[in-house]
Amino acid sequence: MDELLRFFQRELPEINEFLDHEADQLNGLVRDVAKYILGSGGKRIRPMLTLLFARALGYGKDDYQAIACALELLHSATLLHDDYLDEAELRRGREAAHLVFGRTETILAGDALLALANEMGARYGNPRLSWLLAKGIMETAMGEIEEIEFSRSPSLDRETYMRIIIGKTARLIECACRCGAALAGATPEQEDAAGEFGLNLGIAFQLVDDALDYASPTSETGKPEGGDLKEGKVTLPLILLMEEGDEAGAEVLLEALKEGRLSDAQTADILGQVREGGYSEKTREEAALYVEKAKACLDGFAPGDELVVLKQAADFVLTRTK
C-alpha cells in the first residue's frame, strides 16, 4: 500500500486547501457549518478517484480541483441534510453539525454546498462533465430519499438493500470516477470502465461500512457498535442472519424495527448472533467480490503509477477498520 499512501500524502494538501478556500467564500451564516463538515476528517476518496482517473487517462493540466472537490462537497451536503433529518448525534466521532450550528444554518449550508458543487463543475464549460454532475446530484438525492423510505418500511430483501446502497453511496463514487475520465476527454468505453470501477468499489465500500457497524468499537469508527440496528436500519449482516432463521422470527423483527421498539436485550441478542455467526465477516467477503469486479474494470488501462494506486485503493477498501 506504499504507493497509495504516498499518493494521498502528496495530493491531499492541495485538495484540502482548495476545499477550504471555496468554503471561505461562502456567506458567514453557512461558512462555519461548511468548514466544520469538510474539516471532520473525510477520507477524500471521491476527489482522489477523480484525480486518479484523469491522470490515468492522460490528463496533464492542473485544474482538476474544482470537479474533484465538487463531488466531496456534494457528499458533504448530503451528510448535513441526512444527519439533520435522522436526528443523528454523531458524525465521524464529532457532534453532528445541526446540534452545533442549528437547523437553519445546517439546511442552508447543505443547499449552499450543493449549489457550489454544481457551480464548480460548470466552470470547465465541458457539457459531459456538467451532465455527469447533474446526474450524480439527481441520483444522490433520489438515493437519499429511497434510503429514508426503506428505513420506514424495512425489508430483508437483498435486492432492495443493494438498490439502496447503490443509490446512497455507489452512484456518487461512480460519478467521481466518470468525471475524472470525462475531464481527460476519455472515450465512452474508457469512461464506462471508470464508472464500472467506481460503482463496484462504491458497493464494496458501503458493504464494509455496514460490516464495520456490527464489528468495531466506537473508538475506531466514531459510531456506536450496532448503531445501524439500534436506528432500525437493515443492512447485510442482519439480512444474512435472518436468511438462516425462520420466517416468523424475521417478521417479528421487522415489525419491531419499524416501530422502533427493539429492546436493549433483543439488540444485544442480535448483536451476539451476528458476531457468533460471523455475518460481519461474511459481509466483508461479499465486499471482496465487488473489489475484484472493480479491479477487473481496470484491465484495459495502460500500466502506470495511477493504475497501481487505483488497485491499492480498491484493496484498501477491504482492509480498513474505520
User: Which spans of this chain sit near a second copy (rule: CB under 8 A)?
Assistant: 26-30, 81, 84-85, 103-104, 107-108, 110-112, 114-116, 118-119, 121-123, 125-128, 130-131, 133-135, 137-138, 140-142, 144-146, 148-149
We find the least distance from the C-beta atom of residue 28 to a second copy, in angstroms, to be: 7
Q: Which is nearer to a second copy, 110 or 237 (CB)?
A: 110
Task: Determine how many CB atoms are found less than 10 A away from the CB of residue 220.
Answer: 13
We find the least distance from the C-beta atom of residue 171 to a second copy, in angstroms, to be: 12
Measure the CA dihedral 139/144/145/151, to 10°: 140
Q: Which is nearer to a second copy, 110 or 195 (CB)?
A: 110
Q: Which is nearer to a second copy, 1 or 85 (CB)?
A: 85
We find the least distance from the C-beta atom of residue 121 to a second copy, in angstroms, to be: 7
We find the least distance from the C-beta atom of residue 140 to a second copy, in angstroms, to be: 7
Q: Which is nearer to a second copy, 74 or 297 (CB)?
A: 74
We find the least distance from the C-beta atom of residue 169 to a second copy, in angstroms, to be: 17
* Cβ–Cβ under 8 Å, residues 76 and 38: yes
Q: Which is nearer to a second copy, 48 or 74 (CB)?
A: 74
Q: Which is nearer to a second copy, 70 or 317 (CB)?
A: 70
We find the least distance from the C-beta atom of residue 137 to a second copy, in angstroms, to be: 5
Report residue 44 as a C-alpha cell.
477524500
We find the least distance from the C-beta atom of residue 51 to a second copy, in angstroms, to be: 21
Q: Which is nearer to a second copy, 154 or 226 (CB)?
A: 154
Q: Which is nearer to a second copy, 167 or 237 (CB)?
A: 167
Distance between CA 108 and CA 33 in Å, rounded?
A: 9
We find the least distance from the C-beta atom of residue 35 to a second copy, in angstroms, to be: 15
